[in-house]
């Protein structure tokens, strides 16, 4: 397990006003979590509220929305969690899978990885 930071750009799904943010890549983080104020400023609205389990075992209700994320020259729509103010932004595994990227915590970078289609023939 390891962590490192990357710069990502985030916008609403129409992609008209990207905003840059440094986010921690944590090999244990499943979802991308960003400050609610940033997401709302970009015009991203939640489409549901879901239950999430935190590292300490507590369960919390959090809002979920869709954002356009840019990493390097690639863009993908991905789920984002509306985090509390002051939260450390996280770039999670779901978003990385959308980009076909994997964390390399030894070198502190994201690496291309092939997509898995195990059940497909």
Q: Where are the domains of the chain?
A: 3-112
49: confidence class by pLDDT, cuts 50, 70, 90: very high
Structure tokens at 12: 């609403």
- Per-residue pLDDT, 1: 58
Does 103 have pLDDT greater than 90? yes
1, 15, 42 from 5: Cα distances, Å: 14, 23, 22
Q: What is the pLDDT of residue 28?
A: 85
pLDDT at 120 over 70: no
Closest CA to 39 of 60, 70, 18, 61: 18
> Percent of the chain, pLDDT > 70?
98
Mean pLDDT over residues 102-110, rounded? 93
Judge whether residue 117 has pLDDT over 70: yes
110 has which bridge partners? Answer: 103
For residue 16, what is the DSSP state?
S
| Second-level CATH architecture of 3-112 | Beta Barrel (2.40)
- Compute the distance between CA of residue 40 and CA of residue 12 in angstroms, rounded to an integer: 9
- pLDDT for 10 equals 98
What is the chain's mean pLDDT, rounded? 94
């Amino acid at each position: 397990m390891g962590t490192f930071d990357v710069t990502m750009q985030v916008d609403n799904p129409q992609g008209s006003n990207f905003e840059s943010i440094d986010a921690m890549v944590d090999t244990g983080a499943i979802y991308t979590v960003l400050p609610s104020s940033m997401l709302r400023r970009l015009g991203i609205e939640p489409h549901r509220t879901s239950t999430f389990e935190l590292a300490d075992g507590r369960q919390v209700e959090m809002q979920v929305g869709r954002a356009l994320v840019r990493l390097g020259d690639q863009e993908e729509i991905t789920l984002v969690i509306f985090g509390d103010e002051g939260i450390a932004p996280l770039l999670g595994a779901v978003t990385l899978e959308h980009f076909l990227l994997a964390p390399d915590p030894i070198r502190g970078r994201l690496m291309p990885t092939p997509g898995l289609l195990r059940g497909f023939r």
